[in-house]
Amino acid sequence: MSLPNLDMDALRSLVAIQRLGGLARAAERVGRSPSAISQQMRKLEAQLGEPLFRKQGRRVALTEAGDRVHAYARRILELNDEAVHAVRGAAIEGTVRFGLPGDFAESWLPAALGQFRKAYPAVRVDVLVEPNRRLLERLDHGELDLVLAMNQGARADAEHLAMLPMSWIGPKGTGKLVRPDRVLDLALYQPPCFFRQAGTAALDRAGIAWRPAFVTASLHSLWAGVAAGLGITVRTAADLPSTLMRLGQQHGLPPLPGVELCLHTAPGAPSAALTRLRQAVMEQAQLHLGRMARKGSGPGDR
């Protein structure tokens, strides 16, 4: 018995539906109409003889069969894209100097850069991890070609990627923190720091007394200080250490604003290598950070 050849475009649509949580968003991502996506899924279901989706409120969710197909679809698409990039990418070469904040250096971005390197083996990507403000200084001085940064949406070179919510962060098991007779201990980055400013301003508006009990310039030491109970902090909440948790109004804390994430490109005509890296970072950022923003968390920076 001959087996059906699954349509690559339909598999790509299936992966998009799972990532984005619905047909409409997936249709926009893959450049098709929702009705065309629905038709693709019906054809897949007919080929496989199993329903792939079930209703979950206003969204759609994968069935058990859909989960299995989705896992294979990702592998098939990765091999397909790797083959295409291996041929096309061999003709693109050069060096791109890319700057990013420390938070992104430990989450989804290294994997994205690894995929880019496989796709474009002749492109050298020099990565620099530094604080937000220093990265933009280097971009302005011609020392970097591409920068991922927060809270600089007013710059002329800023390209919006996502609006991420800020969160209060404390040790696991934290109870109510704010009491009239108690000064709130904070773990903070050294100034200037956007998260520090936003957190302390929110406390001041709420009339909550606070003090900088633990001050550092390192993200690792910040997390360690919070985990040790030396103070709570303000960040975005993706990829938190397992010892930490998000805090909020149930702990007596005031709400916090969001923070804008943008991609900044050096002035002048970009090289082919820079154009491809910029596109790859944008796609991966919008995919991962858009999902984090919808869940109410995302990577942070100072």
Domain 8-87 has CATH 1.10.10.10: yes
- How many residues can be counted in the chain? 302
Q: Model's pTM, two decimal places?
A: 0.66
In words, the CATH class of domain 92-162+260-295 is alpha beta
Instruction: Tell me the two tokens of residue 126.
Output: 């020099």
Range with the lowest mean pLDDT among 102-111, 122-131, 236-245?
102-111
pLDDT at residue 237 tops 80:
no
Q: How sure is the predictor about 99, in pLDDT bands with cuts at 50, 70 and 90?
A: very high
Look at residue 124 in the predicted model and tell me its pLDDT: 92
pLDDT at residue 28 tops 70:
yes
The answer to whether the 8-87 and 167-256 domains have the same CATH topology is no
If one compares 172 and 292, the residue with the highest pLDDT of the two is 172
pLDDT in tens, 251-289: 999 999 988 889 999 998 889 899 989 988 888 877 776
Mean pLDDT, residues 23-43: 86
State how far the Cα of 236 lies from the Cα of 297, in Å rounded to an integer. Answer: 6
Which neighbouring-strand residues pair with 141?
A: none
State how far the Cα of 193 lies from the Cα of 222, in Å rounded to an integer. Answer: 13
Look at residue 181 in the predicted model and tell me its pLDDT: 80
Look at residue 146 in the predicted model and tell me its pLDDT: 96
pLDDT at residue 298 tops 50:
no
CA atoms within 13 A on the CB side of 11: 20
Look at residue 25 in the predicted model and tell me its pLDDT: 79
pLDDT at residue 301 tops 50:
no
Residues 260/168/287/262 CA torsion (nearest 10 deg): 20
Strand spans (E) along the chain = 53-56, 59-62, 94-100, 123-129, 146-150, 158-165, 167-171, 184-189, 210-216, 233-235, 244-247, 258-265
Mean pLDDT, residues 128-154: 91
Domain ranges of the chain: 8-87, 92-162+260-295, 167-256
State how far the Cα of 109 lies from the Cα of 294, in Å rounded to an integer. Answer: 19
Return the CATH number of the domain spanning residue range 167-256: 3.40.190.10
Q: How sure is the predictor about 1, in pLDDT bands with cuts at 50, 70 and 90?
A: low
CA atoms within 13 A on the CB side of 87: 5
If one compares 294 and 117, the residue with the highest pLDDT of the two is 117
Mean pLDDT, residues 108-116: 82
Mean pLDDT, residues 114-122: 84
pLDDT at residue 300 tops 60:
no
